[in-house]
Amino acid sequence: MDQNTPAADQDAVYDPAVAEPRWQAAWAARDCFRAADVPAGDKPKYYVLEMFPYPSGKIHMGHVRNYTLGDVVARYKRARGFDVLHPMGWDAFGLPAENAARQRNIPPARWTYDNIAAMRSELKRIGLSLDWSREFATCDPAYYGQQQKIFLDFWQAGLVERRLSAVNWDPVDNTVLANEQVIDGKGWLSGAAVEKRNLAQWFLKITDYAPELLAGLDALPRWPERVRTMQANWIGRSEGAEVTFPLTAPAGDIHDVSVYTTRPDTLFGMSFLAIAADHKLAAFAAQTNDSVRQFIAECHSAGTSEAAIETAEKRGIDTGLFVIHPFTGAKFPVWIANFVLMDYGTGAIFGCPCGDQRDLDFARKYHLPVPVVIAPADAGLDFTITDKAYDGPGLIRNSDFLDGLDSPAAKSRAIAALEERKAGRGVVNWRLRDWGISRQRYWGCPIPVIHCPSCGPQPVPAADLPVRLPEDVSFDRPGNPLDHHPSWKHVACPACGAPALRETDTFDTFIDSSWYFARFCAPEAATPTDRRAVDHWLPVDQYVGGIEHAILHLLYARFFTRAMEKCGHVGLAEPFAGLFTQGMVTHASYKNADGQWLYPEEVEFAADGAATARADGRPVSVGRIEKMSKSKRNTVDPGVIIDRFGADTARWFVLSDNPPERDVEWTESGVQGASRFLTRLFRLTARVADEAVQPHHESLSAPAKALRQATHRCIAAVSEAVEHFAFNVAIAKLHELANHLADSEKHPADPSLLWARRECAGIAAQLVAPFVPHLAEDIFARLNPGHPALVAELDWPQADPSLVALDELTIAVQIMGKLRGTILLPPGADAETAYEAALAEPNVARALAGMTIVKRIHVPDRIVNFVVRS
């Protein structure tokens, strides 16, 4: 074939708009992706799950990326002989539906189900290999009714508690605010300063499982290391001491204050004692001291988020009370500090400014002493602390019986001394707090509890489940519509029959997503799970989702699975054997001359890159590349891309440009590149399809052998890359294969080459199938007219090891670690052979002239390095 083959010679055209719906229909007609609750065959199972979407109304590129990543795995594993479960559903409860109801007067249920319908049809256009028969939404009563059953089982199992807990309270709207609705300490709608208010709420005792949740991380080798680290830090096991400080005079019925510390070795460095604003001793101090009362009130107006607390200016107030140091008998003042958290430890700390930066900042600010009790081992006697605390390892000084010890030794000595004096003890503490699950909202799963004035909280009887959300609710005033509903909450106590009130709080939506993966195994079951189905399918073999869920969602799901195990709903502790966290889809953002955000399609670019608005031709400033979001208008609608280029192009692009764990920037040129490659691959293979079919040839021409080697090396490389989630590398290898196939057109078409070309094209179709499944089917069908199977039903191609192995390797020759030449050696060549060949290399020989070789290094099949002296 001629070196320059104009495309105009080629008649075959690929039209995704026609082909994609056709192949989607073919898969559906043959039920290719349907799984059984309890499969009959003996194929190994593989459960692929992507984090299910919130039905916001439109799919965005982040969804396309997330679901395409999972789809590659699902299709690959299916081809590898696994029985694959790949379901989809909707995380359908949550605040946006209530906001829509308030702003646009649409009932949350209708808004949600309309959104689901719209997103389902968009999702279907992507060509995902999903088992749609398992679809459900968490707002379906059939789902949340089972969730209520699970909650009651947890209650019976002793995993549920009711206690007071703080919420963000908007005093103007008289409503509870989510953290995201608190902006700079003010309610997002009312603008009123938010207060903390304590409400009786339900908690799940996740802390009972803290040791197991921590230890379990070691059994998750297929989780990203950083996610395990983040979870371990979040659970936060620490070993320290609880120390009791007697007050110099009783404060009401309070005689002492307990603190938790991880640094008992620095107890002699105490400068003050600080308690949380919610500490009972703070309340006592407030009784007689107006400024203390005012300070506590200020602390209560800060909002509940930890980030807000930690970033706020560190402030405190002296209560005028004193405690006695258990070792020295010295008196120290008791302060209230806004950075001491009631939820952690005992709600009180001892301030040691020399060893803790926060304590030091506090001491400097309020002119408290800074005794130095620890210093680096090599520090002199003049070691002092100015504005930087020393929290590293070191030797203890100025500390009586701890002097000269290193920190670990001093810790155990201090704990022993505390225990001797009955002034404290060594304890293990956890940062993890129990999971507050009550939400004062409508659009969530009702908590199945009835409050009776005489019997207390009573479970709703199983026969009365599900407790359904009433649909005749109004959003014309702030607060929870369930609470306002005229009749819904008024019921008879299930125990005594007296008039009682339904719980009007609903569950945290994290509960909905803490067990959906189990429900997918048997979504129709009359019980929360079908044990045969979950025993077969769980754990999820590959879970795919955003890194933003690294801690909360994944930790809650791990806890929930253990709690479900305790109640017999599942037979395992860890729900997700493999986890992959993908990056975000980003895009440049644009602002016009008036400072308004513009959509990418509203911007025009000149040859020099200058941007102007299409509407009025005025200049546009190109902003940062950031996460696609509606507010910045830097979104690209997947539907529009599929209309223009087809789903395969969108899939290929989101996979090709970046490693999946990293953010990907959506660019127009990248999409066109993807589209161009797919068209090129189609043309290349279409030309092969037009060639005469040849019998298998044992003796190969040189170009045929080279092409077969390239083909089989590509099988090996793509398989390896897919196994490691390196989809961008897999795609690069497929580009190379296409280049090899194109190169083969330059050689005379001998029969063995024609045979090799057909092999190459067919294998290429199979290798691209997980990424661009529609195009793969089209190419395959064209190459194999009348073939009974779809690519979706074929086994993954096998690489022939004899074609994958290389006969010669390029070995680098270095002198003092610098590259001076390369030599060709057969694989496995020994060191002496390598040195000999290296010394014979002209450039190496020249560089070595006049040098003495001091040392020779040989790494087989990789490198030779000479260490020399002149």
Partner RNA sequence: GCGGGCGUGGUGGAACUGGUAGACGCGCCGGACUCAAAAUCCGGUUCCCAAAAGGAGUGUCGGUUCGAUUCCGACCGCCCGCACCA
Please report, as residue ranges, which positions from 391 to 410 form the binding site for RNA (by CB under 7 A): none
Question: Which residue from 49, 88, 137, 177 is in contact with RNA, where contact means CB under 7 A?
Answer: 177
CB of residue 649 vs RNA: minimum separation in angstroms?
12
Please spell the DSSP secondary structure of 594-654, one letter per residue: TS-EE-GGGEEE-TTS-EEETTT--B-EEEEEEE--TTTT----HHHHHHHH-HHHHHHHH
Q: Which of residues 58-77 bind RNA (CB under 7 A)?
A: none
The site map against RNA for 455-484 (x = CB under 7 A) is ------------------------------
Residue with smaller CB distance to RNA, 367 or 818 = 818
Which tokens belong to 143? Answer: 């789902």
Single-letter code of the amino acid located at 350: F
Alpha helices in 485-575 (DSSP H): 509-512, 516-519, 531-537, 552-566
- How many residues interact with RNA (rule CB under 7 A)? 110
Q: Is 553 in the site for RNA (CB under 7 A)?
A: yes
Q: How far is the CB of 563 from RNA (least distance, A)?
A: 16
The 8-class DSSP code of residue 206 comes to G
Supply the DSSP string of 281-329, one letter for each residue: HHHHHHHH-HHHHHHHHHHHTS-S-HHHHHHSPP-EEEEEEEEE-TTT-
Q: Residue 53: which of 558, 725, 549, 726 has the closest Cα?
A: 549
**With CB under 7 A as the contact rule, which of the stretches 233-241, 466-474, 759-767, 794-802 interacts with RNA?**
233-241
**Contact (Cβ atoms closer than 8 angstroms) between residue 489 and residue 73:** no
Contact by Cβ (8 Å): 56, 112: no
Instruction: Determine if 180 is a binding residue for RNA (CB under 7 A).
Output: yes
Amino acid identity, position 760: C
- Candidates 717, 796, 777, 674; CA nearest to 64 is 674
Q: How far is the CB of 240 from RNA (least distance, A)?
A: 16
Report CA 191 to chain centroid distance, whole Å.
33
710: tokens are: 């390239």
- Ranges within 752-811 binding RNA (CB under 7 A): 810-811
Minimum separation from the CB atom of position 147 to RNA (A): 15
Neighbouring-strand partners of residue 853 = 868
- Nearest approach in angstroms of CB 25 to RNA is 29
CB atoms near residue 603 (< 10 Å): 18
Question: For RNA, which residue of 142, 178, 283, 501 counts as binding (CB under 7 A)?
Answer: 178
Could you say which residues in the range 629-658 bind RNA, by CB under 7 A?
656-658
Q: Any contact of residue 173 with RNA (CB under 7 A)?
A: no
The DSSP 8-state label assigned to residue 688 in this structure reads: H
The piece of 60-68, 104-112, 544-552, 572-580 that touches RNA (CB under 7 A) is 544-552
Report, in Å, the least distance between residue 49 CB and RNA.
Answer: 15
Task: Tell me how far, at minimum, the Cβ of 415 lies from RNA, in Å.
Answer: 23
Minimum Å gap between C-beta 29 and RNA is 33
Structure tokens at 547: 């890194």
Distance separating alpha carbons of residues 368 and 351, to the nearest angstrom: 10
Interacting residue with RNA among 408, 456, 499, 817 (CB under 7 A): 817
Residue 427 is encoded by which pair of tokens? 């304890």
What letter would DSSP give residue 374? Answer: E
Is residue 235 within 8 Å of 402, Cβ to Cβ?
A: no
Q: Tell me how far, at minimum, the Cβ of 745 lies from RNA, in Å.
A: 8
- The answer to the question of residue 32 lying near RNA (CB under 7 A) is no
Contact 767, 734 (CB under 8 A): yes
Question: Quick one: which of 379, 409, 706, 732 contacts RNA (CB under 7 A)?
Answer: 732
Least distance between RNA and beta carbon 845 (Å): 11
- Alpha carbons 325 and 222: distance in angstroms, whole number: 49
What is the 3-state secondary structure of 686-722? HHHHHCCCCCCCCCCCHHHHHHHHHHHHHHHHHHHHH
At its nearest, how many Å lie between RNA and the CB of residue 508? 5
Least distance to RNA from the beta carbon of 683, Å? Answer: 7
Q: Is 439 in the site for RNA (CB under 7 A)?
A: yes
Q: Footprint of RNA on residues 496-535 (CB under 7 A)?
A: 508-510, 513
Segment 677 to 706, residues that bind RNA, using CB under 7 A:
677, 679-680, 683
By CB under 7 A, residue 862 contacts RNA: yes
Q: Of residues 398, 672, 694, 784, which one binds RNA by CB under 7 A?
A: 672
Query: Given the rule CB under 7 A, which of 60-68, 73-81, 301-309, 825-833 is the region that contacts RNA?
Result: 301-309
With CB under 7 A as the contact rule, the residue among 168, 542, 592, 634 that binds RNA is: 168
Rounded to whole angstroms, the Cα distance separating 178 from 303 reads 10
252 binds RNA (CB under 7 A): no
Closest to 738 in 3D by CA, of 716, 712, 761, 704: 761
Q: What one-character DSSP code corresponds to residue 79? A: H
Q: What's the chain's length in residues?
A: 870
Question: Could you tell me the end-to-end alpha-carbon distance of the chain, in angstroms, rounded to an integer?
Answer: 57
Q: What's the closest the beta carbon of residue 176 comes to RNA, in angstroms?
A: 5
- In angstroms, the CA 658 to CA 570 distance is 37
| Interaction between residue 161 and RNA (CB under 7 A) | no
Site map 85..124 versus RNA, x via CB under 7 A: ------x-xxxx----------------------------
Q: Which is nearer to RNA, 83 or 195 (CB)?
A: 195
- Binding track over 193-222 against RNA, x by CB under 7 A: ------x-x---------------------
Q: Is 440 in the site for RNA (CB under 7 A)?
A: yes
Q: Is residue 551 a contact point for RNA (CB under 7 A)?
A: yes
